[in-house]
Amino acid sequence: MTLMCAAGLLLLTASNARAHAAFKSVTPADGATLKTLPASVVVEFTKDIDDNVREAALLPPTGKSIDDAWKVDGAKITITTPKKMANGTWGVKWRVLGGDGHPLTGSSTFKVATATEATPAEPAEPAETSTPAPTAPATPASAGHGGHVMASTYPHTGLERLALAGRILFFGGLLLFVGGVIFAIVAAPGWRPRYWNATLSAVVVGSWIVLGTHVAMLDERSLLEMLNPMVWFSGMFTVACRGYMLATIIILLIHAFRFHLEPVEWEARGAAHPKLLVGLVIAAAAAPALSGHAADGTLLWLRIPIDMLHVLAGAAWLGGLVQMMTIIVRERSLDPRISKVVHRYAKLAATSVGVLVVTGIYATLNELDAGIGELFGSTWGRLVLLKALLLAATMPLANVNRLRNVPDIGHDPIQGVPRLRRFVALELVIVIWVVGATAMLVYETPPTTPTTTQATAAE
């Protein structure tokens, strides 16, 4: 009943903080022919963008591009045009970050056709387009003018795959690391988390892969330029990477703290673990929300805690499964305490799955701006559905564990443990697929309602 009430409250608030930054309009309109010189070029987005603009350039028909005459005001980039503009086709291109760290890249052209030199005029009202510009670096475009290429020519495909591998490493390591600590505190007091160094390494390596690939793609850096440490340092504070870096720092702090909790001390402390350790674990779970979709909403006071609960629940489930597998496969399958550990973890896992469902539904509705139909018509939506189906697939397994396997551990561990082992292994495989889908989902932009007003060319 409590879970249902919480779900109802969250769903009521979810619709109040939708939509992510997307391209809205450019003035002069794309393809416009101008008989009067514009005073500026204005690129507008649906929401405020990050002030750290990576590129906003005006490209004349011939000569050097003008890339230092822009300013940001909320959701607009204004590029001041020169007082004299040659007749011909001019280009505009931009590469910026939305509030959630997703890149927004696009380009436009307009033609200047003045009979005589004209005085600058005030820009017309922004003209909305029916198709937004791409929200991430996409397939390189070959169309250009006056020797200027109007879209990115950087080969992103290989880097995008590497970035995905980095996100899988990071999130998998984070969930296993945090989940191992939660398991040791809640389900198995005295149990020292296994695979500590491996999961720590996954978090550190994954975060640096994400940082390096993000900077390389966004700033179109070459491999030689990526050898410069300052390039990496500058990317640490971008919207897309700050959460990864913060989580990594916190994980390293937990690792340093762990040296004071050697195996004997874990056993001696039981459930009475220091509050600092618990606080650091919660902080590590909250950190990724600073780089995700949650960072680009209103209701941040609610959305970031919701994302933190989502990560903590996923960690308790996945990390607990791995620790459980370790117990029942290698070390303590016949330990008389195993029954209590299994029962406690069963309750923890059931609660975690419930929290995952509620917070996941809230996050989906919070981000979905284009209607439920877009769950089937966009990559983001299909990944959300895949996560939902995978979670649903674990429900029968969990039910069998709760009703049959867990009770059998208490009175017949010789028969019950092997059966539980098989079910836990199958559930673990499904959860690993959920982590993979989550890693892909993080960098996908939720669909937004497209503008329908047709662009009108300035005369």
- Mean pLDDT throughout 438-457? 58
Burial 323-336 (b: 16+ CB within 10 A, else e): bbbbbbeeebbeee
Q: Which one is predicted more confidently, 310 or 116?
A: 310
Least confident of 33-37, 364-368, 422-426: 364-368
- When pLDDT is averaged across residues 213-219 and rounded to a whole number, the result is 79
Q: Sorting pLDDT into bands at 50, 70 and 90, what band is 173?
A: very high
- Cα–Cα distance, 362 to 353 (Å, whole number): 14
Report yes or no: 76 and 23 within 8 Å, Cβ to Cβ. no
Q: Helices (DSSP H) in 236-337: which residue ranges? A: 242-258, 263-269, 275-286, 300-326
pLDDT band, residue 169 (cuts 50/70/90)? very high
Identity of the residue numbered 333:
S
Q: Identify the three-state secondary structure at position 161.
A: helix
Q: Say which residue, 386 or 224, is predicted with more confidence.
A: 386
What pLDDT does 100 receive?
61
For position 128, what pLDDT does the model report? 47
- Name the pLDDT band for 109 (thresholds 50, 70, 90): very high
Q: How far apart are CA 43 and CA 23, in angstroms?
A: 8
What is the pLDDT at residue 33?
Answer: 92
pLDDT band at 285 (very low <50, low <70, confident <90, very high): confident
- DSSP 3-state of 36: coil
Of 261, 265, 284, 276, residue with least CA distance to 199: 284
User: Regarding predicted confidence, which is higher, 121 or 408?
Assistant: 408
Give the integer Cα–Cα distance in Å for 151 and 147: 12
Higher pLDDT, 223 or 215: 215
pLDDT classification of 89: cutoffs 50, 70, 90: very high
* DSSP-based three-state secondary structure for 251: helix
On whether the pTM is more than 0.85, the answer is no
Residue 458 has what pLDDT? 36
Burial of 161 (0-12, 13-18, 19+ CB in 10 A): exposed
- CATH number (2.60.40.1220, 3.90.550.10, 1.20.58.1000, 3.40.50.2300) of 25-149 reads 2.60.40.1220
For 404, which DSSP code? I
Q: How far apart are CA 396 and CA 402, in angstroms?
A: 10
pLDDT band for position 297 (cuts 50, 70, 90):
low
Bridge pairing between strands 103-112 and 32-34: parallel
pLDDT(283) > 50: yes
Provide the pLDDT for residue 204: 92
Higher pLDDT, 55 or 27: 27
- For the segment 24-53, the average pLDDT, to the nearest whole number, is 87
- Average model confidence (pLDDT) for the chain? 74
Instruction: Give the whole-number percent of the chain exceeding pLDDT 90.
Output: 12
Q: pLDDT digit string (tens) for 351-388?
A: 998 898 888 888 887 777 656 666 787 788 888 888 88
- Check: CB of residue 416 under 8 Å from CB of residue 409: yes
Mean pLDDT of 45-68: 83
Output phi, psi for 42, to 5 deg: -120, 125
Contact 229, 239 (CB under 8 A): no
What pLDDT, on a 0 to 100 scale, did the predictor assign at position 111? 92
Question: Over the stretch 307-338, which tens digit does the pLDDT of each residue have?
Answer: 888 889 999 988 988 888 887 776 455 566 67
Q: At what angle do helices 413-442 and 338-367 cross, to 10 degrees?
A: 20
Q: Say yes or no to pLDDT of 288 above 70.
A: yes
Domain residue spans of the chain? 25-149, 156-442
Residue pointed to by tokens 């008989």: 35
Task: Name the more confident of 288 and 265.
Answer: 288
